[in-house]
Amino acid sequence: MFLTAELITKKRDGKKLSEEEIRFLVSEYTGGSIPDYQMAAFLMAAFIRGLDRRETTFLTRAMLESGRVFDLSSLPAPKIDKHSTGGVGDKVSLVLAPWVASCGVAVPMISGRGLGHTGGTLDKLSAIPGFRTDFSIEQFTEILRGNNFFMAGQTVEIAPADKKIYALRDVTGTVPSIPLITASILSKKLAGGAEAILFDVKVGRGAFMRTPKEAKELAFWLCAVARQFKVKAEAVLTRMDEPLGRFVGNILEVKEALEFLSGRFEADLYHVTEYLAVRMLGLAGIEEKEARRLLSARLLDGSARQHFRELVRLQGGFVGAVENPGLFARAEYQIPVRAPQAGWVWSLDAREVGLLAIELGAGRKTVQDKIDYTVGFEFLKKTGAQVEKEETVAFVHSNSTVTGREVAMELGQLYDIRREKKKAPGLIIKS
């Protein structure tokens, strides 16, 4: 038995915690014996003083073992998962999972909700009426067996400690910590029972890792700690300086994912998603040329979209909206954003876009906040595009004209437009 205050003090003073001490903190907090304010103090101490690789492995194991772990050994297909470290407009998982699943690879995907200025896959899925991410492990396993993928959240069975700590980090300024990010991601991903994990580590203004150096460090930690659990791991660094794809906002991003699966997509979203899909198939033993052929065929013949439709059906969602996206709810107002001058778009700060999305109601400021799934942004022009003065460069989707107009003015100011031509940067930084 330990005293929580002493463990907080120990970490505050830069000392290392044992596996037993970390396990105590996690289990007692999950069970309700340690209050939020003490765990918040510990998280801040860990954020400032850091956790070493061994402490991070201990924290990962404690959060993983706070719940149950999938046993997928009876499934013959290769079991490969993917995780993004968080971005703005990052609806890749919604496309990638069914696309890879349609190629014969099992994708047991456990995801999280929005964190800080970034969106979350679970929030996007929750925008589908009736969609559930809280089935039992046995039920999820049957979904995987029948459709080659599931998309789950941290239920009471799956890494419940991380679910509770994740929400606290989001509102206490302790998000961008490599050890805490590593333990959070892996406690969920390892619970899913995958044999291999591909990490999409975002880097840039809209990512938690702002520089390639930071992103490489996180990629190294994720892979190194994952391998301590006998899981094969690889990482890809992708750029997150501006929103990915055309839309930001939960329903808007689900609809964009459905367009992609129907063969209509933005070039940047396709480039990143296909690259990651090829790498996932590579982890399953499929060589690159064959992987690209398979992916192209499954997109063209509708198999990828059918897998997504079947997932929605199996997880209780409204299939009619998948078949006819016009049935999704939509925001009452679409407010145009005008270019302040003619020229070329040089940048569109993804982090600031994410923060504006929260102001609009697409994300949370506090744990208790309710999300408005209908609101968000549509971008007609991004980096590298030529614009005329007063041309519409974006739309704000809002249910309040006052808030919508205020956000539209701020969004317009985020556009850095110059006279000189700008080429859009490459999205894959390192593989």
Catalytic positions: 83, 162, 169, 184, 188
Angle at 351 between CA 41 and CA 411, to 5 degrees: 135
What residue ranges in 204-260 does DSSP mark as E strands?
Answer: 232-239, 247-248
3-state DSSP assignment of residue 247 = strand
3-state DSSP assignment of residue 426 = coil
Closest-CA residue to 233 (of 89, 355, 82, 86): 82
The CA distance from 222 to 213, in Å, is 14
Number of C-beta neighbours around residue 176 at 10 A? 17
Residue found under tokens 């089935």: 135
> What Å distances lie between residue 311 and 79, 101, 107, 265, CA to CA?
17, 11, 12, 21
Helices (H), 148-211: 160-170, 178-191
Residue found under tokens 């300024």: 173
Residue found under tokens 């892996």: 186
CB 72 within 8 A of CB 107: no
State the sign of the Cα–Cα–Cα–Cα dihedral 372, 378, 382, 386. Answer: negative
CB 342 within 8 A of CB 389: yes
Region at 86 (left for phi over 0; alpha for psi -120 to 50; beta for the rest): left
Pair of tokens at residue 202: 């975002």
The CA distance from 9 to 5, in Å, is 6
